[in-house]
């Protein structure tokens, strides 16, 4: 059966790939990104993930067009380097964008969902750590704890899993690799970045019947970058 899928927040390139994967599988997909644009066949919903009123309005549009959300995919921001990460001026905005906003979005959507699947996009940095990105790693470590907690609390109604991404073929990753080069690629056993199609396929798998008994898991899509963590 076609499901109501809401892909919200985060990097548009990654969100587009995930939305495309669900559309190709026959689902009804709505997308809410911080910036414009969506794959063909998706319902575009204006959304500011930092604004509870905007989330409520977006959900009303999704439900009016596709029915109650059954699959929620929550995106997050891509990493930034900052010269000083521990003062509030640098730390707080990154934690807000990557943790607080995601938590608020999940809280709002879960209140409307009867049951379903929640996939939270995170980063291998949340479990492996990330030099020069302690703010980003702290936020994504928080997402792991949050997602595992709601998996326990809401297990009779939902599965909730983390998709922990390594380097994905986006402009941000390309810029990182251009800057740090072989240092990053050399740490990835598979010696390449993930394709956007691989991200979309794994997100869809976590929302599929094949993953019906998987919850509270952290699934790495990182080419082995986080092995051992």
Residue 118 maps to a domain: yes
- What Å distances lie between residue 165 and 86, 111, 140, 190, 227, CA to CA? 24, 27, 11, 14, 13
How many domains is the chain built from?
A: 1
Q: How many CB atoms lie within 10 A of CB 171?
A: 10
pLDDT in tens, 146-182: 999 999 999 999 999 999 999 888 756 555 555 544 5
User: Does residue 136 carry a catalytic annotation?
Assistant: yes
Residue 229 maps to a domain: no
Please report the pLDDT score of residue 161 as a whole number.
98
Helix (H) or strand (E) holding 146: helix 134-153
Residue 65 maps to a domain: yes
Cα 39 from chain centroid (whole Å): 17
Residue 48 maps to a domain: yes
Residue 145 maps to a domain: yes
Q: How many CB atoms lie within 10 A of CB 148?
A: 17
Strands (E), 113-212: 116-123, 158-165
Q: Which residues of the chain fall below pLDDT 70?
A: 34-37, 78-88, 131-132, 171-184
Task: Round to whole Å and give the CA distance between 4 and 63.
Answer: 8
Residue 226 maps to a domain: no
Please report the pLDDT score of residue 126 as a whole number.
82
Please report the pLDDT score of residue 22 as a whole number.
97
Check if the beta carbon of residue 8 is closer than 8 Å to that of residue 105. Answer: yes
CATH of the domain at 99: 3.40.50.720
Check if the beta carbon of residue 160 is closer than 8 Å to that of residue 109. Answer: no
Q: Is 127 helix (H, G, I), strand (E, B) or coil?
A: helix
Please report the pLDDT score of residue 217 as a whole number.
97
Domain limits at 145? 4-221
Residue 189 maps to a domain: yes
Task: Round to whole Å and give the CA distance between 191 and 145.
Answer: 29
Residue 227 maps to a domain: no
Please report the pLDDT score of residue 160 as a whole number.
98
Please report the pLDDT score of residue 183 as a whole number.
58
Please report the pLDDT score of residue 85 as a whole number.
56
């Amino acid at each position: 059966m076609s499901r109501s899928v809401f892909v919200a927040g985060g990097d548009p390139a990654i969100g587009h790939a995930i939305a495309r994967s669900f559309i190709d599988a026959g689902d009804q997909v709505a997308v809410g990104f911080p910036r414009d644009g969506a794959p063909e066949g998706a319902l575009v919903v204006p959304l500011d993930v930092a604004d509870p009123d905007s989330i409520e309005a977006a959900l009303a549009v999704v439900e009016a067009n596709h029915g109650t959300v059954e699959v929620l995919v929550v995106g997050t921001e891509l990493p930034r380097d900052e010269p000083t990460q521990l003062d509030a001026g640098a730390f707080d905005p990154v934690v807000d964008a990557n943790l607080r906003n995601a938590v608020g979005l999940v809280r709002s959507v879960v209140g409307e969902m009867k049951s379903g699947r929640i996939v939270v996009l995170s980063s291998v940095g949340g479990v492996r750590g990330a030099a020069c990105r302690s703010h980003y790693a702290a936020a994504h470590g928080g997402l792991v704890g949050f997602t595992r907690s709601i998996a326990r609390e809401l297990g009779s109604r939902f599965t909730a899993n983390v998709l922990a991404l390594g380097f994905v073929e986006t402009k941000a990753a390309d810029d990182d690799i251009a800057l740090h080069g072989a240092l990053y690629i050399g740490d990835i056993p598979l010696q390449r970045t993930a394709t956007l199609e691989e991200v979309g396929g794994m997100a869809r798998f976590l929302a599929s019947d094949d993953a019906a008994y998987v919850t509270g898991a952290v699934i790495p899509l990182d080419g082995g970058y986080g092995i051992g963590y």
